[in-house]
Amino acid sequence: MGRGMLQFKPYQESVDVSIHVELRNRLYPDMIQTEDEILRERASVPKERIFIETWLATDGEEPVAVLDVMDNYWAAEKGRMLVDVLTPSQDPEIWSEVYRFGEDCAIRKGATEIICWNRSDCTGQVEAMIAAGFTEIQRVPITRLKVDTFPLEDWEKALKRVADQGIGLTTWADLDHEAKDWVAELYQATWEMVQDMPSPTTPTAPKYSEYVKMLEDKKRYIHDLMFVALDGDKIVGYSRLTPTDADPTLLYTGLSGMRRNYRRKGIVTALKVAGIKAANARGATQIQTDNDETNPMYKLNTDLGFKNSASWIQFRKALA
Ligand SMILES: CC(C)(COP(=O)(O)OP(=O)(O)OC[C@H]1O[C@@H](n2cnc3c(N)ncnc32)[C@H](O)[C@@H]1OP(=O)(O)O)[C@@H](O)C(=O)NCCC(=O)NCCS
């Protein structure tokens, strides 16, 4: 397909989400989502302070892509914008045409640098990105663990090691019953963790009100699947699993981390073992993670038995 064959119209969330989910699930059949999940994900973007514009690309009557152009607000910098082309097509011409439309939108909003993510097995799209002038800046392997065959008996000692150090392991569900404002403490602890994650871009702290709102999404933040390590009444470690309505056999891993002074004591390993036990108890068969290839967390996961398939790749293009 040559340049200029597609039509672009503003995305109307309530109408176009059914097309959106269909395109997304054709692109990633191993990581399917529901319409509701897409809507909740979009609702979590703080639109009152960040720019986002979404387009639906069609080829005649046929929908081919959803395009987001937005501020890269979790690692913000003046002139840095994210262009996200979601299309199941591996025809480099399709990706390129949608991207060019997105790049023009971003330039009109003052972009001098574009961030774009893709998956390593989307070979036609990755080829188009390189041709468009993108350079890889980060590789984030996706790994999966088969929960039902995990040798739990070999890892029980990880839980004992932590208990022997006087560190308590619990869940957010248990902390819910207490009067203390644990959310403020988790916010502080997780921000310390996020700043130490290897990344080519410097993270931007979420506003506290946004963090509180995020935790209120009870479908993503399942209190029984939020594992916490406590030293007395201080949160020192955290690991979260999150289910997907679209596939009850699969759990995704959210942030895992430790406060700086508590690292290399086996605590995140223990939190992950607690998570694997809980996953088994609720009948999930797989847990998925994604970590920067240089993050010690990647090795920690592969030591637990997680196996790598494809990788997320972060690309950057300077426009100036
Ligand atoms: C990565 C991180 C979560 C590890 O937590 P932890 O509780 O210190 O990990 P553990 O003590 O359970 O480590 C288990 C093993 O992982 C490996 N490992 C952990 N941290 C490591 C490091 N900094 N360098 C090299 N290997 C490391 C080691 O093999 C370690 O075993 P050992 O200490 O007996 O050698 C912690 O460093 C952290 O919070 N980092 C910042 C946040 C982050 O990057 N989170 C992961 C992305 S979500």
Question: Both tokens of residue 48?
Answer: 């009152």
Q: 286-290 and 250-258 as β-strands: parallel, antiparallel, unpaired?
A: parallel
Q: Is 260 in the pocket of ligand 1 (CB under 6 A)?
A: no
Q: 62-71 and 80-86 as β-strands: parallel, antiparallel, unpaired?
A: antiparallel
Q: Mutate which of 263, 289, 301, 306 to test ligand 1's pocket (most atoms within 8 Å of Cβ)?
A: 263
Q: Residue 177: CB partners within 8 Å, gap ≥ 6?
A: none
Q: Mutate which of 164, 195, 258, 261 to test ligand 1's pocket (most atoms within 8 Å of Cβ)?
A: 258
Could you give the CA distance from residue 117 to residue 138 in angstroms, rounded to a whole number?
9
Separation of 40 CA from ligand 1 center, angstroms?
Answer: 31
Cβ-contact 137, 314 below 8 angstroms: yes
Q: Is the pTM of this model over 0.85?
A: yes
Q: What is the pLDDT of residue 1?
A: 45
Sheet of 7-10, strand order: 7-10, 52-59, 62-71, 80-86, 113-119, 307-318, 135-146, 286-290, 250-258, 234-243, 226-231, 168-171
Q: Quick one: which atom of ligand 1 is closest to the CA of 292?
A: 47
For 143-311, which CATH class?
Answer: alpha beta
Residue nearest to atom 2 of ligand 1 (CA): 257
pLDDT 10s digits, 82-104: 999 999 999 999 999 999 999 99
Residues of the chain with pLDDT under 50: 1-2
Q: Is 165 in the pocket of ligand 1 (CB under 6 A)?
A: no
Q: What is the pLDDT of residue 3?
A: 57
pLDDT 10s digits, 119-156: 999 999 999 999 999 999 999 999 999 999 999 999 99
SS3 10: strand
Q: Is 299 in the pocket of ligand 1 (CB under 6 A)?
A: yes
Q: Is 196 in the pocket of ligand 1 (CB under 6 A)?
A: yes
Cβ-contact 70, 82 below 8 angstroms: yes
Domain 7-133 carries which CATH code? 3.40.630.30
Extents of the domains making up the chain: 7-133, 143-311
Q: Are 7-133 and 143-311 in the same CATH fold?
A: yes
DSSP 66-117: EEEEEE-GGG--TTEEEEEEE-S---HHHHHHHHHHHHHHHHHTT-SEEEEE
